[in-house]
Amino acid sequence: MAVDNCEASGELEQLDEYPDLCLDWAYDEGSSPTTLTLFDPRGSRLATAWITVDDDTGVSLEQAR
């Protein structure tokens, strides 16, 4: 999964350019996932730089808007 065509809210002049993000993801279980982990596969800190979301605390994009 790659993040492209980002849209920034607020003052656009705060960003000289969009950040270069290349994110990958992994589920804990393929048949019935309960957690999703996002990480940068190119990063040198792969073992310490990631975000995991549990399905009980995550919300859909429709709910976040």
46 pLDDT more than 70: yes
Helix, strand, or coil (residue 13):
helix
**Does residue 24 or residue 12 have the better pLDDT?**
24
Percentage above 90 pLDDT, the chain: 0
What is the token pair recorded at 43? 């990063």
Q: Which tokens in the block code for residue 32? A: 């019935």
* pLDDT tens-digit map of 47-60: 788 888 888 887 88
